[in-house]
Structure 1
């Protein structure tokens, strides 16, 4: 019983999910049987209609006795005759006509019992042949041997050629002379009076094509060509089109749709098995790939969430000791000031003369001043390290939130934006201790209206500006411009540091853009930095102030604002960073 069930399950599976080859073979068998059946039925129906219609056409003409006939030159009439074969090969024959029989045939009619049952049959006459052109007369043959026929090249006797009624007398006279003279065989016999003999005879028939009309031809042509072409050709189109849709185009469309969803990283679905064993296996492989990618995506999401939580927790936990350290440093400074030992000049002047120090000896006073200086320097170092740790904590916490920020745009005049960014840049330059000159150039119409998230733009500008001042030797140049719709950001395209988003830059270049270009005269970007300069935690200069997050945050915010960040080296030396921002009101922002 179990074996029968297994066999049944295999047979069911074979029919439900066959291979493409077996499915095609099955469709071909069904097509052949159905087309053949339809062809036979169609031809049968059309031929029945043809026969019925031709019967009606044939009924308009009398049924003529086929013959044989001999031609009586004296009366100029066809006379019914009887063939008398003189040998076993039937090539020697005498045609005999009896006058009495002729009178009987002329006086009465015969009734046919074939397919034209109950139709009247009459003897052919020259008058009948002349009046009704549908009748044909041909040579009965005989009295020519095969060799004679070959030697004569089918002349003058040709059984396939109809003889015109008016040409019959001349034809008969010629043929009687050309053929074997077998009529003399019966000369000595007593056959009675009125007997006529001849070595040439004729038969008469009704030419079917002569009375066929357009309907008859249409029925025959339809039976011969239309029905087979429609049955086999139409059946092939219908069945194999269904086969193609069911086993090829349909499954491929489903697989292509699934592949497109996977390409869009839309993995929250399931790929059902498709028809066809081969494509079914492909769908199973694609489903395993989708499931693996989904697992990997979820793992990456969990890793990113854990990183964000870790960053947030790290930043949160780090703020407490930073606050304690900052408070301790401030308390120490206050204590130094209160004791008159402020290292910034309260106890000693710049030339080394000290005042306000209690003690009996100048040596002790000098030692106290040195100690105060060392203590003040140590406090400055601690304060700098506290600032560094606080900046690092802030950066770590911002990395966890910046990717989810959505720009909130407001309308501004481009002139106001230029003034604001220039003021911001000069204030930042004044706060730097390095002797770096800042130049700012705005190339846009002051009254032009733009839609920006100003806080985002300032944050991006601040990070890019800090990177430039951190590497510049003597000069930092800032250029602000507007890129009109339909243009291309030239500075952003021919670079190596766009982070693999060249196509994104091209797409964004088709909308109005605010472009910030920050250049410096420093050493420029290395080849690796052009590729990875915007990656998080990447940095070539391992310093206390550089964490490798500034350009990463700037690029993320710029992309959230519909723009991008690109890195390049100037031909004259130094680096250039180009930041772009979409300034349309309803821009479609790019994901981080």
Structure 2
């Protein structure tokens, strides 16, 4: 009896047909991956753009009020009223000193004719003294009694800058103008070496700040005749005819932000290759998965073909045992059905596992972003409150013509802006679990800094401060900004607790050595920790305050920072009542002595 030959090509033809049918599934996979990674990149760049815009506006706002303040200085008025050599020399020296204190690039005084009478760079080779800047828009604006604003390239120094100007008055008469030039070069260096590119354009559509030097002073659009005439008249760039910037918009993801105060537009350009790379990876994984699936199906079909072939052989060899063969055939068919069911269940289980893993990954990313956002909001409230206090005090001092003390408040505000940038850096490191080494830090300056931040609030609440801190400097292993951040959070929490009780309100602060470290103890006469609050106080977002009064992040951040420094944060209640918080830090070798008097945090 001859055996029929089964075609060996049939299973592979089936696989080829299945592959052609399943291949179009990669198209929706590509579309979903592109949308996901594009949204992720846009959200990341939006946050980066917000931070850069905040930094840029902060730099400009720092100097915006300076010309009006300087215009009231008697030395500068005398130089305009009677520009003899002695008065001009006094003005030069005063402007030089003010430039060193404020951090401005150049300060200079102009006559009503636009001639520079005195300047902070009067001793430099490229001094502005006796230069004619009457053609500049900021001079014309100041002479009209307006606050002058202008970005341009210095015709004398060759350096870019943003100019603020204001009129110097004697009653209603305009004696001249005072100008402050702000250096913006550092705002480009802050961007760093990243695939994303920075682009800041002015009202003319010309690039003035960019992380890509070849784009500088190129126009992003066609300029009309009025704009070209204004450029020729004001000379803000290295060229009077900016060339058009040619960009392939299909190669970039662009996000922009309008700055109405300056008529600038800030753009962040991300190359589309940042999306294309992970999309290609996803497609490769999807294609590999499809290939494995087809190979697995091929093996399954091959096995099934062998089973059928064997069954046919048994049927032809044992015709007399037809009943037994039929029973065997029925058994094999049942087994095959079960195997198919098991295969389908496994495929479904694998798909559910992949889906659950993707959802867990997304939830983790959203949690990290939420924690970072909430932390920044929580940590910046304190320096902002202090800056508001210093600004209010500066206004009162200026009303009383106490210029030296007002200048001190402005310097405090400048220091706080630097500190806010440092806090943001450390909060970003905290969200990424970034590990940064500790260094030798003096405890008392950090404690004084933290007390100064809460001083106004403490005085408004009538809280009595009792300190037991030695005069000798205590040195600890910590980060200077992180130590101030920890102490400020602990002091703020103590004031929050005292807000719920009536006077008298007291806050005890003690510090000293213990074993090989330093102990800082904070105690108040408030209600103390409840049993549930004491057990959960270190948990993020746990708070006993109203939702509008706190986020529940202070102690969680402190506990994490202290642990990273190798220290310990102990929470408890004092036997006499109220909460008691102990901060234990590792000691450090002595350094430069801590000044006991006239310390400005």
Same fold (TM over 0.5): no
TM-score (norm 1): 0.28
Q: TM-score, structure 2 length as denominator?
A: 0.28
Whose RCO is larger (CA < 8 A, sep 6+)? 1
Which has the greater radius of gyration? 1
